[in-house]
Chain A
């Protein structure tokens, strides 16, 4: 009896193994356009995020645009160019420019110094940049045959004077630049979704912050009503806020010290109506000693 059972189990495993191999064999021979569900990823090129920024006199934002192609292709000439597009909090373009980027070079872009090119004054907004895939890389088989996409998972930094700086990485994807084209892009996400997010951080008086800013952006093509709920430890909803966020626009809510106190030590917050699954949020926390910190959650 035991032998029969063991033989059956072995036969089942072998059958599953061969089925899996056959599936992979077939899949590997399908054209890329049939394998790749996202229509924006059926060629080759670069994927970039949409980054929020603040430059309000107290907080400034600095972007360190780094030639990551030089790390992966150190044997090639990876000199390239960068295009920048600035948007205000409603997603309206307020400036753009282009510059060269050398091998392993990092360009430091501070919003406070870029404001001179803005067509209208703004203290909050978003930034899109695109590091063109270097010519020497575009010609490689991973691009022409492998449908390679180079995602720019960059970091940016919120600063307060010269003393305080806090980094965070880009958390999602926004634009897909196909092949060597740098002046237009497809959206990574097609139609907007409607997602919720329940950050794990105990949120309330335990943080000891003077205030906490909850920030995110809309990476879809249409506007979205994003709702925030602040709860105490029992899950009771104490504060709510809903804001209609334009495409490329910014959601920003400031939880005050008294609100944090009201939530108690292990309160929480959750977000609803998020346009993409990975929208998530930035928390910009202000401390009584003047320090700031930044985290995504």
Chain B
């Protein structure tokens, strides 16, 4: 029984992740009952639960899918374990680890660095994996903004890059659609195109980035582009997914928030971030809407 506790057991260790039935990729999550430093709670077993949202972001179900014995690690097939809902469009699954212990007066800081491996496997038996963890509160205030940049866009006749955008919050009361803008730049810095995309709460999408560049830019030799994404409406979780649909092959990597680049007092940091977002928002050339 979860009584008198300070922390929500389903938020102690959780991972929001997307399932993409339309991309022909099977989603898996790799979980462990310890953190990689190996010193925290390694002798603890954990229940594994899924919270499932439909493609429109409505909560559908929460149920236990398994258990992790102490000091073990295991992959769980997220696509097949949620196949029963029959969703054909991308949908959100939140994976929870609930420690099997007296949760009275539990502090969420005991579970820092409990990361998950989010993995997508293709029909060629190749896969790509990314490791991340989520904080106890995420996107929980109404006033938030984000800016992301990455050089991970590679396009060719074989290689496609998707930008995955996930709208998740730990506070359902503040959940709202977030519109963000994505700019693609040539290696020389010149803007190629720009797209505005609205992502409803508790949903995600996979933006096919080859659709943002002229077809003449895509040849047998991969071309690289740099992406800048931003919004003053909230925070989206961006991931980059590179796939070879013809021969197989998947690669996925997360991005870093601006505070990973700008190590300075908050008063400067907030000013820089807001000024940059407003600057990009005011430059609307080549912008499409989806």
Query: Is the pair B251, A162 in contact by a Cβ cutoff of 8 Å?
Result: no
Chain A residues whose C-beta falls within 8 Å of the C-beta of B31 in the assembled complex: 200
User: Which residues from 133 to 191 on chain A have a C-beta closer than 8 Å to any C-beta of chain B?
Assistant: 141-142, 146-155, 157, 162-169
Query: Is the pair A71, B185 in contact by a Cβ cutoff of 8 Å?
Result: no
Question: Contact flags (1/0) for A189-205 with B, using CB distance below 8 Å?
Answer: 00000001111111000
Number of A residues, CB within 8 Å of B: 66
Q: Per a CB cutoff under 8 Å, which of A47, A164, A168 touches B263?
A: A47
**Can you offer 30 A-B residue contacts whose CB atoms are under 8 A?**
A74-B276, A74-B280, A103-B189, A104-B189, A104-B226, A105-B187, A105-B188, A106-B187, A141-B268, A142-B272, A146-B267, A148-B262, A150-B261, A150-B262, A151-B262, A153-B260, A153-B261, A155-B253, A157-B152, A162-B158, A166-B242, A197-B36, A198-B36, A200-B131, A201-B30, A208-B125, A291-B244, A291-B247, A295-B130, A295-B131
Known: A102-B188, A287-B248, A291-B244. A72 touches B117 (CB 8 A): no
Query: Is the pair A66, B247 in contact by a Cβ cutoff of 8 Å?
Result: no
Known: A162-B220, A197-B36. A108 touches B187 (CB 8 A): yes
Query: Is the pair A289, B247 in contact by a Cβ cutoff of 8 Å?
Result: yes
Name the residue of chain B whose CB is nearest to the CB of A198: B38
Query: Is the pair A142, B268 in contact by a Cβ cutoff of 8 Å?
Result: yes
Chain B residues touching A, majority SS: mixed
Chain B residues whose C-beta falls within 8 Å of the C-beta of A259 in the assembled complex: none
B150: CB under 8 A from chain A? yes
Chain A residues whose C-beta falls within 8 Å of the C-beta of B152 in the assembled complex: 155, 157, 167
Q: Chain A interface (Cβ within 8 Å of chain B)?
A: 41, 47, 64, 66-68, 70-75, 102-108, 141-142, 146-155, 157, 162-169, 196-202, 206, 208, 233, 235, 266, 268, 270, 280, 287-297
Given contacts A105-B189, A287-B126, 19 further A-B contacts (CB under 8 A): A72-B261, A142-B268, A146-B264, A148-B264, A149-B264, A151-B260, A162-B158, A166-B249, A167-B242, A169-B254, A197-B38, A200-B116, A200-B131, A201-B73, A202-B73, A206-B75, A266-B74, A291-B247, A293-B129
Q: How far is the CA of A71 from the CA of B257 in the complex (A)?
A: 12
Query: Is the pair B156, A162 in contact by a Cβ cutoff of 8 Å?
Result: yes
B218: CB under 8 A from chain A? no
B265: CB under 8 A from chain A? yes
In the assembled complex, how far is the CB of residue B267 from the closest CB belonging to chain A, in whole angstroms?
8
Q: Per a CB cutoff under 8 Å, which of B151, B226, B240, B248 touches A289?
A: B248
Known: A148-B262, A150-B263. A166 touches B74 (CB 8 A): no
Q: How far is the CA of A47 from the CA of B261 in the complex (A)?
A: 9
Query: Is the pair B36, A297 in contact by a Cβ cutoff of 8 Å?
Result: yes
Question: Contact flags (1/0) for B148-168 with A, using CB distance below 8 Å?
Answer: 011110101011000000000
Q: How far is the CA of A195 from the CA of B248 in the complex (A)?
A: 37
Name the residue of chain A whose CB is nearest to the CB of B250: A293
Q: How far is the CA of A104 from the CA of B189 in the complex (A)?
A: 4
Q: How far is the CA of A154 from the CA of B224 in the complex (A)?
A: 14
Question: Contact flags (1/0) for B226-248 with A, using CB distance below 8 Å?
Answer: 10100000000000101010111
Query: Is the pair B272, A294 in contact by a Cβ cutoff of 8 Å?
Result: no
Q: Per a CB cutoff under 8 Å, which of A155, A166, A196, A201 touches B150?
A: A155
User: Which residues from 119 to 149 on chain B have a C-beta closer than 8 Å to any C-beta of chain A?
Assistant: 124-131, 147, 149
In the assembled complex, how far is the CB of residue B84 from the closest CB belonging to chain A, in whole angstroms?
24
Q: How far is the CA of A150 from the CA of B250 in the complex (A)?
A: 31
Query: Is the pair B261, A289 in contact by a Cβ cutoff of 8 Å?
Result: no
Known: A199-B36, A291-B247. A266 touches B73 (CB 8 A): yes
